[in-house]
Each structure stands twice: as C-alpha cells, then as structure tokens.
Amino acid sequence: MGRKLLLKDIDVPGIRSFEVYRKQGGYASVEKALKTMTPDAVMEEVKKSGLRGRGGAGFPTGMKWSFLDRKSDKPRYLICNADESEPGTFKDRYLMEYIPHALIEGMIVSSYALGAKASYIYMRGEFRWIFPILEKAIEEARAAGFIGKNILGTDYSLEVYVHSGAGAYICGEETAQIESLEGKRGNPRNKPPFPAVVGLYNCPTVVNNVESIAAVPPIINIGGDEYAKIGVGKSTGTKLISASGHINKPGVYEIELGLPVEEFLYSDEYCGGIWKGRKLKAVIPGGSSVPILPGDLFLKNAKGEPRVMSYESLADGGFASGSMLGSGGFIVMDETACIVRNLWTFARFYHHESCGQCSPCREGTGWMEKVLHRIETGHGKMSDIDLLVDVAKKIEGNTICPLGDAAAWPVASAIRHFREEFEYHIKYPEKVKDPKHFEKEPFVSERNAVVAA
C-alpha cells in the first residue's frame, strides 16, 4: 500500500465541506506557512521537494516559481490550470469535485510563496457542475478567515477567483489560457517572453496544474526533504493516475512514483489487470498526446529492464522506444483494440481543437485526420503511411505551442510500433469495413514491435 498524500481523506464522509476537511488537519499548511515561514522559505521547501509539474511537461515547480520576475513592481499572479481536457486524463476533475479544499489550500500557500494578491482558477467550461463546488469552498474558506484581507491576522491578503473557460482544449496551454482569461480569443502567444516575465495583463505570472498546487500543502506539512524521499530519482512524491480503457478497475489512483508498471497494471489494488482475461496490446501512459507503446515495450524498456511509473523510466528510450508520464492519463488497450481507429479518434480531437493560428497545425491536423479516416474505412493506399509520417514530422516542433507536437507524436509513434496494422487496413479493405473488426478477429502480428534504431 503506497503512501497517500492527496487522496488520504477521500473516504471521509463530508470531506467536501470545510468543517470536515479542517478536522482532518486541513489548512494546517496555511497556518504553518503564513505564521512561521517567509514566502522564500515556502518556495525553498517546494524546490527541495523536487515536485514536478503534474500537467504533463514535468517541469520542476520550484524552478518555475523561481523564474518569476520579482524585480518588477507589477502585481504577480498565480493561475491554476484546471482546463483539464486531455483525452484520458480526469484526475483534476476528481480532486476538485471531491476534495475542493485541497486545491484552495494549495492556492493560498502557493500564492503566498509567489506574493500574488489575486489568483485565478481557470476551469474547463465543461466542468460546469464543479464551479459551484469550488465557489462554495472559497466562500467557506473566506468565512473562516483563510481568504480575504489579512489572512489569519497576518498582513497577507489574497483573493481567489474561479473563471470558467468556454470549452477549448487549447486554453490549457498556459499562454492561451492567459489570453482567454484576459477576455480574448484563446490563441497561444509566441514565446519568449515567457509568462513568468510577461503574463496575465503583462504582469509576471505562474501557471500551475491543479495537482501541482494541491501537492504544495503536503510538502509544507511534512517538509520538502521528507516529500523528496517518496518516489524514485528525480520523480518525487505521489502522482494521481487516471486509468481508463480495457482494465478491470478504471479510476483515479494515487501512486508513489517509482511503482513498477506491472504492479500498477495487474495488482488488484490498482487497475486489476486486463478485462475479460484478454491480452495486453498497447498502453498510452500519459494522456493522448504522448507516444503509444506496445505492451511488451511498455512493461520492459528496449534494454529489457522493467519499467516503473516515473518520468524518467517511461521516457527511457526516447521517442524510438519510450513514451512519457505526461499528465497521467493511463489508457490501456487489449488485443481487440484497433490502433488505427484509436489514432483516428485522437487525430479527430486535435483537428477539432487546433486553434487555427499557425499553419502547420491548422492544416496538418485536419490532413492527418482525413488520411487516417481513409485508412480506417478501407480506402487507404500504401503511400498514405509514409505521407502521415512526413506530415507529422513537418508539424512537430514547427508550431507556436505544443498542440502541434501533441498531434504529431501519437501518429508518429503508432506508425513506428504498429506499421503492420496500418498495412493490414490497406491490404484487406473489406475486413476493416466493420468498425469492430479486431473485436471479431484480433490482429495477429508476426513481430510485435519494431524498435527504431
């Protein structure tokens, strides 16, 4: 049983309310930080903890905070990125819905560390029902004196606002989110300048994921050094994983980083193995944007060492034979899943969500979707496979924001590892007419994975 920091009280009845949360030891970190620590000391603890951004990129949170322009006399802002829309990721929703105070507590401590007087929670538009939950939590915290003027009698004041987006995936990109928060069209900005220098209303801004912010109170409570002991190497602490797909027990699990992937996938404590006793075909370990891995390459890396759930281990092998932990959207596919169909679904998503600002992403995502649709419905040509690889290569790295990369990586990796399956779709168009073709007759490959040199 791994240690739980974020979800330890999830089963306490009424944890959503302030009284119960407080009784369980909530808001202790606010008292500790505001009364006994300086903002720099709080930041130092977060740096020591080695906490890495939980939104997908895995950038060290403490380092991100230290980039904030402190010399400028402009106000500073903290934005909590609650625009969780990555297919396969639903951890922030769970956290905000069931323990809203964990996020509010984190917001107060983080804002204190950054010297922000106003902080925003940018909520995904579709999370309409969580909006009142967070508003209520903020009101309760305000009534108890944790938000507002002179918190706990100190001279620190803070306002926390919840802002609803309008349902755009692109607004999860930090600069697009800032634009959207300013009331403009959610188009990502060109970087540099980075938000730490020129952010919201041209002021220094930090944008952090919900889970990153919620992880700050436990760090303050137990101390950065203690937190850094959990996990493995540079992947410290606990991480929420949203497991979905063909497994017996889909859901949100809190794991200690460094948990063997095999244990996570097959133990009854977590995913509980592949459903209906089927075989594992492929895993997307970090949300739809990260490269897909065939089952064997997921359990063991190219060198044959078993992988663990950590930023480094999953990325081992680079793009040739590795993937990323990303935002923890753990999608499992059994032997009946069709990689092409799944990829087409993702491509459709990125086509729909591209903001249309820069040309490679605007035109390329649509093109890839159309070609994949053609292959999946049995109208493909052999040259289409190389075309997809080429288009993905021309999008990757040439766009303003990472959405282009996110659209290109799944395509490139799926073709790298499952090229045979694409060829099968082209060779036997009549067999793939039925959308459930591999459910009737699972695809059997002579070679399971090709490890690119």
Q: Is 299 in the site for other proteins (CB under 8 A)?
A: no
CB of 357 to other proteins, least distance (A): 5
387 scored as a contact of other proteins (CB under 8 A): yes
Output the CA–CA distances (angstroms, integers) from residue 386 to 118, 213, 291, 389, in the order listed.
50, 42, 18, 5
Residue 70 vs 370, nearer CB to other proteins: 370
C-beta of 19 vs 390, nearer to other proteins: 390
Choose between 85 and 399: whose C-beta lies nearer to other proteins. 399
φ/ψ bin of 328: left (φ > 0), alpha (ψ from -120 to 50), beta (otherwise): left
Q: Is 276 left (phi over 0), alpha (psi -120 to 50) or beta?
A: left
Least distance from other proteins to the Cβ atom of residue 326, Å: 20
Beta carbon nearer to other proteins, 400 or 415? 400
| One residue of 34, 107, 368, 400 binding other proteins per CB under 8 A | 400
Interface with other proteins by CB under 8 A: which range of 28-36, 114-122, 136-144, 351-359? 351-359
The two beta strands, 238-245 and 251-256, are antiparallel
Q: Is 429 in the site for other proteins (CB under 8 A)?
A: no
Q: How far apart are CA 417 and CA 288, in angstroms?
A: 16
Interaction of residue 229 with other proteins, rule CB under 8 A: no
Closer residue to other proteins, CB minimum distance, 40 or 386: 386
Alpha helices in 165-209 (DSSP H): 174-181
What's at 234, amino acid-wise?
K
8 Å CB contact between 84 and 284: no
154 scored as a contact of other proteins (CB under 8 A): no
**Which member of 332, 360, 368, 432 binds other proteins (CB under 8 A)?**
360
d(CA 186, CA 171): 6
- Residue 318 contacts other proteins per CB under 8 A: no
Retrieve residue 203's tokens. 């002021």
Among 78, 99, 138, 168, binds other proteins (CB under 8 A): 168
Among the listed residues 54, 59, 289, the one whose alpha carbon sits nearest the alpha carbon of residue 169: 289
Element (H, E) at 259: strand 259-260
Q: Is residue 149 a contact residue for other proteins (CB under 8 A)?
A: no
Query: Could you say which DSSP state residue 258 is in?
Result: T
Residue 10 in the binding site for other proteins (CB under 8 A): no
Does 126 contact other proteins by CB under 8 A? no
Position among 38, 150, 154, 359 found at the interface with other proteins (CB under 8 A) = 359
